Amino acid sequence: MKLRVTLSLMALAALAVAFLIWPRDGHHTTYNAASDTALAEAIASSVRSEALNALMEATPEAEQRDMAFLIKNMPAADRDAMDLELLKENVTYANKARTEYSWAKALPEEVYLYDVLPYYVVDEVRDAWRKELYELFSPMVAECKTMYEAVCAVNANIPRLTGVDYNTKREKTNQSPRESMRQGMASCTGLAILLVDAYRAVGIPARFAGTASWHDNRGNHSWTEVWLDGQWRVTEYYFPSKLDHLWFMADASKANAEDRNYAIYATRFGKAEDWFPMVWAAQSDDTTVEELPQTVGAVNVTKHYQELAYEQYTRHIEAGTHTFIRIAGYKDAAHKEHSDDRVAMGVDVFCGTEQMGGGLTAGPLRDMNDLFSVLVEKNRVYELRYNDAAGNLQRLTVELQEEPVTVEIFLNK
């Protein structure tokens, strides 16, 4: 009996000591590089094993666990060739943000490692963005108390601080932050990369998401997800009024999880069960989606987007707060009677500076009753933006009231 009591007291004492010394979060867990066999194997597999060993030895003890994680999980090509000073700076400033911001301190270890620490997003040029973006955005989030406040602060200031706006005249699709900032422009993929990195620079978990093609084959789209309160939320470079309420949700509702051409994916650093279809990396117009590089890990998140879109549209319609703007595209105002008078024209719908929807008007082979439709809030003023035959941007104001409206746009005046 005395032995049992003694053992119980010893167990309780051990638990008490463990409670006192065990770290409250994963940021301060003890790491021993010498016993990390996976790290040793990764370094040995590289043509720069001596340089990588020297890098680990030169890394401060508090940062060694993060450096080891990157070396073990980075693409072999990066391990063999990328600038190691870039890697060192990345780890230093990732740790700086995690130490400085309350939301970063509170992150689960896996979320921090996979969605804050990584130095790249997809296949963009590896450049030293983290220090530069930290210095740009740290003053914007300095007074923020929550991660959501910090997300809003980054989004509200990113076009002004980086000088980058949407423009398809950019040099290439998958631009790195520095490439976009040098030009002052990027398309959706470059904007998504820049926003992911801006978030990560101030300790906000973020990842890249997108689809190889929408259901109507009008092309790919890329955007950003942020991790808030234990779940991934949807956002974009030009901040929507609410998270998860993006202009492309109607299209997302028609995504197909079983078809890689039309599924929606979110990136995953390192090895993953699936891969992201980087359509910009196609070698030719004949390249199929399965022939694309399979170098960036991903998670198929199609079902999540379908559920978001269904809930949003169903709720709005049942509440009676929204109705449709229906848009028909024609060659010109004098030819609107027959199906071959119709033209598939790209059109975007804005309310102020916020994009509410976008897509293609129905072409000549579609039923005459088939109109491109966008569900929007009633009793507000909207603007349709499209290009005419000469490539000039046209803007058309629509004053929406209680009932749905049909608007005609013309390729030729």
CA angle 172, 178, 182 (to 5 degrees): 75
pLDDT (0 to 100) of residue 100: 97
Three-class SS state of 327: strand
Long-range contacts of 249-252 (CB under 8 A, 24+ apart): 249/305, 249/308, 249/309, 249/312, 249/313, 250/309, 250/313, 250/357, 250/374, 250/375, 251/214, 251/215, 251/216, 251/221, 251/359, 252/211, 252/305, 252/306, 252/308, 252/309
Residue 328 phi/psi, 5° resolution?
A: -120, 135
pLDDT (0 to 100) of residue 250: 78
User: Are 157 and 220 within one domain?
Assistant: yes
Instruction: Give domain status of residue 13, yes or no.
Output: no
> Which among 305, 140, 97, 350 has a CA at the least distance from the CA of 209?
305
The answer to whether the beta carbons of residues 218 and 345 sit under 8 Å apart is no
pLDDT (0 to 100) of residue 172: 95
pLDDT (0 to 100) of residue 68: 97
Cα separation, 187 vs 172, whole angstroms: 8
pLDDT (0 to 100) of residue 313: 78
pLDDT (0 to 100) of residue 27: 53
CATH number for the domain harbouring residue 401: 2.60.40.10
Q: pLDDT digit of tens for each residue in the chain (413 aa)?
A: 444 444 444 444 443 333 333 343 445 568 898 899 999 999 999 999 999 999 999 999 999 999 999 999 999 999 999 999 999 999 999 999 999 999 999 999 999 999 999 999 999 999 999 999 999 999 999 999 999 999 999 999 999 999 998 888 899 999 999 999 999 999 999 999 999 999 999 999 999 999 999 988 878 999 999 999 999 999 999 877 689 988 788 788 889 999 999 999 999 999 899 999 999 999 998 999 999 999 999 999 999 999 998 887 777 878 899 998 999 999 999 988 887 899 999 999 999 988 988 889 988 877 777 789 899 999 999 999 999 999 999 999 999 999 999 999 999 98
Among the candidates 257, 281, 308, a domain finishes at: 308
- Please state, in angstroms and as integers, the Cα–Cα distance from residue 297 to each residue in 69, 233, 273, following that order: 16, 19, 7
> Which among 401, 244, 402, 262 has a CA at the least distance from the CA of 308?
244
pLDDT (0 to 100) of residue 370: 79
User: Are 266 and 375 within one domain?
Assistant: no
Cα separation, 77 vs 75, whole angstroms: 5
User: Are 137 and 239 within one domain?
Assistant: yes
User: Are 231 and 85 within one domain?
Assistant: yes
Residue labelled with tokens 């979320």: 111
Domain of 398, in residue numbers? 322-410
pLDDT (0 to 100) of residue 20: 35
Query: Where do the H-state alpha helices sit in 222-301?
Result: 249-252
Among the candidates 308, 338, 364, a domain finishes at: 308
User: Are 293 and 376 within one domain?
Assistant: no
Instruction: Give domain status of residue 28, yes or no.
Output: no
Sheet holding 405-410, edge to edge: 372-377, 322-330, 405-410
Instruction: Give domain status of residue 85, yes or no.
Output: yes
Among the candidates 308, 333, 352, a domain finishes at: 308
Three-class SS state of 267: strand
The angle that helices 130-141 and 147-162 make with each other, rounded to 10 degrees, is 120
pTM of the model: 0.78
Instruction: Give domain status of residue 406, yes or no.
Output: yes
**Number of separate domains in the chain:** 2
User: Are 286 and 328 within one domain?
Assistant: no
